[in-house]
Amino acid sequence: MKISIIGTGYVGAVTGACLAELGNHVVFVGRNKEKLDLIRSGKSPIYERNLDDLLLKNQERIHATSSIPDAIHQTNSTFICVGTPSNKDGSIDLRQVEDVSSVIGSALCSSPDYHTIVVKSTVLPGTTEELVLPILEHESGKKAYVDFGLATNPEFLKEGTAIEDFFHGDRVIIGANDTNSRSTLQNLYIPLDIPIYSTSIKTAEMIKYTSNAFLATKISFANEIGNLCKKMGIDSYDVFQGVGMDTRIGPHFFRSGIGFGGSCFPKDVQALIAHARAVGEETRILNAVIQTNNEQPGKLINLLKKHVYPAGKTIGILGLAFKPDSDDVRESRAIPIITDLLNEGASVLAYDPVAMENFRPLFPSITYAKTAGEVLKCDTILIVTEWKEFEDLDYKNRIVIDGRRIAKAIDEAAIYEGVCW
Ligand code: UDX
């Protein structure tokens, strides 16, 4: 197939490269010239394991342009992969989706061939049919499901393992209201040999939100139980090992600690809460999920204060990314933790293998170490992200307060506290 990918961010870059690997011709569309040049030269515009290799390997099938009409005229399907950030009140900001839908619509007007539009951006149920569809029809003068196809295809890619998730995910979700759009997407994904679940557009949109809300709930639940375990001198990791053996429950996403960050869970749960409020539904569980998550970083600071008076001290921070194998600092737990430390009058010496440049604009005044070893010169260390290299450090004679559970620190530190263990 010939596919346009609109958006060169995380979802667009990974989806486009993986679809090219499956043998499709891919045209990336973006506004950032530097990112387009990187893609053209077979380099990844984002930090993601093995993405460079895929882009380079499939260079002959990959093109990049800043023009949506050019891309549409060269292809027969278009994936919308633009961002859907949060407004100040937690609701979803759909301006990028609206803008690209409008340009796609006018390009469809002059496009003689049948074209299928696929919404991959995370959008609330109803958005594709009630916002994207009318814009496309209005701008193109054509009829959805008759003159052009329309579908949704939510992504379930985790940063750091996104390529693995694309090729070996648990399922592909296709949301389509007509046979043509459904079979276009089914044919695209059949080579993956992953279960495909096809449903209506609205249902597919809800599957994405429900999945992320459930995973976030699992983490906050693990943290609530973990807080209780800590009070009772029980290791919550041992508890969840036993609990997760029940196949009805499953072992994943029970890692208790300082909570979830990133570009999806906080934003998607907030958007669902705001949407529920708008339609007159109360979301008691989801409200509690966010509240528990917001309180977890404070547990780390309280444990620190049990052992150390932070004012005037330099505290070492290991990890700034919201998770390992990512340079993404959006909603990273390091943000509230460092804010609290500075408010307490402490100085901060921080290290992250790849996220320091993204973090620096948020906290320009703290000190950034060149190596993890440099941070270990502080006598008190907070572990915020579980990078693998932190398993090789020497924690002897140190006070370590751990938000993510690094085994070597548990074994070696002079004083060790885990948030939920
Ligand atoms: C998530 C979803 O997993 C993915 O399916 C979706 O499409 C995009 O959002 P991502 O945010 O990249 O992926 O990473 P994920 O591995 O899910 O972790 C999110 C956050 O939860 C991280 O801050 C991580 O540290 C935290 N987490 C995860 C826990 O605190 N405990 C866990 O057990 C798992």
128-143 residue pLDDT tens = 999 999 999 999 999 9
Looking at the predicted structure, is the pLDDT value of residue 90 above 90? no
Amino acid at 125: P
Residues with CB under 6 A from ligand 1: 155-159, 212, 215, 219, 253-255, 257, 259-262, 264-265, 322-323
pLDDT of residue 76: 97
Q: Atom of ligand 1 at shortest distance to CA of 212?
A: 2
pLDDT digits (tens, 9 = 90+) for 269-319: 999 999 999 999 999 999 999 999 999 999 999 999 999 999 999 999 999
Ligand 1: residue whose CA is nearest its atom 16: 158
Looking at the predicted structure, is the pLDDT value of residue 405 above 90? yes
pLDDT of residue 193: 92
Q: Atom of ligand 1 at shortest distance to CA of 333?
A: 23
pLDDT of residue 244: 98
pLDDT digits (tens, 9 = 90+) for 101-128: 999 999 999 998 999 999 999 999 999 9
Average pLDDT score over the chain = 97
pLDDT of residue 409: 97
Those residues whose C-beta lies under 8 Å from the C-beta of residue 363, and which sit 6 or more positions away, are 338, 348, 350
* Best residue for ligand 1 mutational test, from 159, 260, 388, 420 (most atoms within 8 Å of Cβ): 260
Ligand 1: residue whose CA is nearest its atom 9: 264
Helix 201-232 and helix 265-278: axis angle, to 10°? Answer: 110
Find the mean pLDDT for residues 149-170: 97
pLDDT digits (tens, 9 = 90+) for 58-74: 999 999 999 999 999 99
Looking at the predicted structure, is the pLDDT value of residue 83 above 90? yes
* Best residue for ligand 1 mutational test, from 219, 326, 331 (most atoms within 8 Å of Cβ): 219
Ligand 1: residue whose CA is nearest its atom 15: 158
d(CA 204, CA 196): 12
Ligand 1: residue whose CA is nearest its atom 24: 260
Q: Is there a contact between 5 and 188 (Cβ–Cβ < 8 Å)?
A: no
Q: Is there a contact between 395 and 412 (Cβ–Cβ < 8 Å)?
A: yes
Q: Is 264 labeled as catalytic in the residue annotation?
A: yes
Amino acid at 383: I
Going from the Cα of 323 to the center of ligand 1, the distance in angstroms, rounded, reads 8
Find the mean pLDDT for residues 390-400: 98
Going from the Cα of 199 to the center of ligand 1, the distance in angstroms, rounded, reads 25
Q: Which of 18, 81, 229, 264 is catalytic?
A: 264
Going from the Cα of 53 to the center of ligand 1, the distance in angstroms, rounded, reads 24
Looking at the predicted structure, is the pLDDT value of residue 192 above 90? yes
pLDDT digits (tens, 9 = 90+) for 342-353: 999 999 999 999
Those residues whose C-beta lies under 8 Å from the C-beta of residue 181, and which sit 6 or more positions away, are 116, 118, 145, 149, 150, 151
> Which whole-number Å values give the CA distances from 223 to 46, 188, 294, 378, in the listed order?
31, 39, 11, 28
